[in-house]
Amino acid sequence: MRTRRIRGAAVVAALAVGAGACSAPGGTDGAGADGKAGGSVVIGVASEPDTLSPLLGYGKDGNSKIFDGLLARDTDLRLKPALAKALPEIGDGGRTYTYRLREGVEFSDGEPLTADDVVYTYETILDPATNTTARSELDAVESVRADGDHTVVFRLKYPYAPFAARTVLPVVPEHVAGRQDPNTGSFNTKPVGTGPYTLVDWRKGEKLTFAANPHYWGGAPAVKSLTMAIVADDNVRATRLRSGDLDGAVLPPDLAATFADDRGRRTYEAKTYDFRAVTLPTAGPVTGDRAIRRALDAAVDRRAMVDRILDGAGLPAYGPLPADDPWYTEDIERDQDLGAARRLLDRAGWKEGGDGVRAKYGRRAAFTLYYPSGDKVRQDHALAYASDARKAGIEVKAEGATWEVIEPRMGRDAVLAGFGSVGDPDFGLYTLLHSSLAGDGFNNMARYDVPAVDKALDAGRRGQDPGTRRTAYDTVQRALVDDPGYTFLTHIDHLYVLADRWDGPSTQLEPHEHGFASGPWWNVEEWRPRA
């Protein structure tokens, strides 16, 4: 048995998501749409992770095919045992969580899983020297210790209501990862886990190929080969799906609709927490003006975006939580009001010029809005946003670029961004809005810094009483109306098209990140070829 003390949480580093090239998977990875080889699947996704190491953030929300967490989620997102053989035993008023591990579980290299692997995983993530995205999410953890080979005990600094859901975090083998620098070691691209699949090949920007793990503790998968083809462009992904080069793909609504009458394929729609929003950096010379931000919030026609861009597959976004979420503050809905937008700008001294664009102290109310090239849904949102803003006298130049171009500009330029986490409101709101994470990669991209919001986020994170937590998150949502750091546009449904030759595909309520881990292939290890 050993006990390790956790060093204090530090600022989270971002896990950037890169766009990939559009080359074919190649080889015999998939059967195409003709369904001749049900044991092989090729999926087209828009992006790939920078790393496959959970120590740096990969798979932290579950559904990794290479790794398992102590717990997992079922179709309805209920927590269920995974590497733990039961849900945790909770004691000391919510400050201790005890997990008892399954016996006989092995990593894909044949070494046994022990409690020391769990301790190593969590300690490494919480070490400030590790460049991980998950550290702030585990702020409540004070220590983690192994009590023998098959028991792990977490001690929390404070009761944290949703802690069990954090333990879907994948567990890595200490005997492999512990011998390397977690930031630069080969484990980041050559992982070893306990999951249903092992990585066979990773050609950056092209594809990742996985093989079924025959020794998987949950039973050997029937789908023996899984390939994730990286195809950044939506139109190219649809074309390759139609040609049979891909078995399935994530698609925007207009392209998914073109497969509606295809009897050999099925369309899946997943409800989500995923929203599209425009980041409005407070350091920007124009977006830093609260009147500009409030005017843009009033000028946008959210309902039209849902109808015209998403073809009804989504909801207007009045804040970071969707209107059908139980934590949503119900009276914050607002319609487009161009009159209110103009009055806000008039009062703030932004005067309309001869070209219809307002100016103040010689500075035009104009800024650039970046969106990732190839993402048609974001492009359409950006163009609609620019059109609405122009009606209020604000000039927004929508410009497509790669993430390599966008990232260095995020501190001062607006971005058509996507966020959203399933489960407890703390999971998505803290990293989106807390000032301690301002400008930390993709966390708090708007550099939002409102003390009352920080206080409410801290109260929501530490609170145990549901009423107290509701009051905290109501405060956050109302503050975003009064002083928006983002213009929230839409909550989008995710649409997937998949060759209809397996039994088992389904969808869950999904986060922003989708396609690679989410989608109807979230449970591919449970699929069976249809006879």
What's the pLDDT at 21? 33
pLDDT for res 75? 92
Question: What pLDDT, on the 0 to 100 scale, is given for residue 9?
Answer: 29
Which H or E run includes 399?
A: strand 395-401
Ranges of beta strands (E only) in 402-516 are 414-419, 486-492, 494-499, 502-503
What DSSP letter does each residue of 14-28 carry, written as one string?
Answer: P---EE-------TT
Residue carrying the six token digits 């260095």: 408
Per-residue model confidence (pLDDT) at position 323? 93
Quote the pLDDT of residue 115.
98
Q: What is the largest CA-CA distance in the chain?
A: 76
Burial of 387 (0-12, 13-18, 19+ CB in 10 A): middle
Domain residue spans of the chain = 2-196+493-529, 275-492
DSSP 45-65: ESEE-S---GGGTTTTTS--S
Question: CB neighbours of 311 closer than 8 A, spacing ≥ 6?
Answer: 253, 254, 257
The secondary structure element, H or E, covering residue 433 is: helix 425-433
The residues, ordered by sequence, that sit 6+ positions from 509 with a Cβ below 8 Å of its Cβ are: 77, 270, 271, 272, 273, 422
Same fold, 2-196+493-529 and 275-492: no
DSSP lists the bridge partners of residue 399 as 370
Residues 6+ away with beta carbon under 8 Å from 227: 25, 29, 30, 40, 41, 42, 43, 207, 208, 209, 210
pLDDT at 38: 59
73 and 82 Cβ atoms separated by less than 8 Å: no
> Quick one: the chain helix, strand, coil %, rounded to 5?
30, 25, 50
- Tens place of pLDDT for every residue, the chain, 531 residues? 333 333 232 222 332 333 333 333 333 333 333 344 558 999 999 989 999 999 999 999 888 999 999 999 999 999 999 999 999 999 999 999 999 999 999 999 999 999 999 999 999 999 999 998 788 899 999 999 999 999 999 999 999 999 999 999 999 999 999 999 999 999 999 999 999 999 999 999 999 999 999 989 999 999 999 999 999 999 999 999 999 999 999 999 999 999 999 999 999 999 999 999 999 999 899 999 999 999 999 999 999 999 999 999 999 999 999 999 999 999 999 999 999 999 999 999 999 999 999 999 999 999 999 999 989 999 999 999 999 999 999 999 999 999 999 999 999 999 999 999 998 999 999 999 999 999 888 899 999 999 999 999 999 999 989 999 999 999 999 999 999 999 999 999 999 999 999 999 999 999 997 778 889 999 999 999 987
Cα–Cα distance, 519 to 268 (Å, whole number): 8
- Fill in the DSSP letter of residue 216: -
Tokens of 410: 């995020």
54 and 177 in contact (C-beta within 8 Å)? no
| Integer Cα distance of 73 and 511 in angstroms | 13
pLDDT of residue 416: 98
Q: Which amino acid is at 415?
A: V
Extended beta strands in 46-150, E state: 47-48, 71-73, 79-81, 89-91, 96-100, 141-146
CA distance 444 to 456: 16
Q: Nearest Cα to 103, choosing from 122, 84, 78, 130?
A: 84
Which residues does residue 269 pair with via DSSP β-bridges, in sequence order?
A: 495
3-state secondary structure of 184: coil
503 beta partners: 528
Indicate the CATH number for domain 2-196+493-529: 3.90.76.10
Torsion sign over Cα 398, 374, 188, 224: positive
Distance CA 272, CA 322 (A): 8
Domain 275-492 maps to which CATH number in 2.60.40.10, 1.20.1250.20, 3.10.105.10, 3.10.100.10?
A: 3.10.105.10
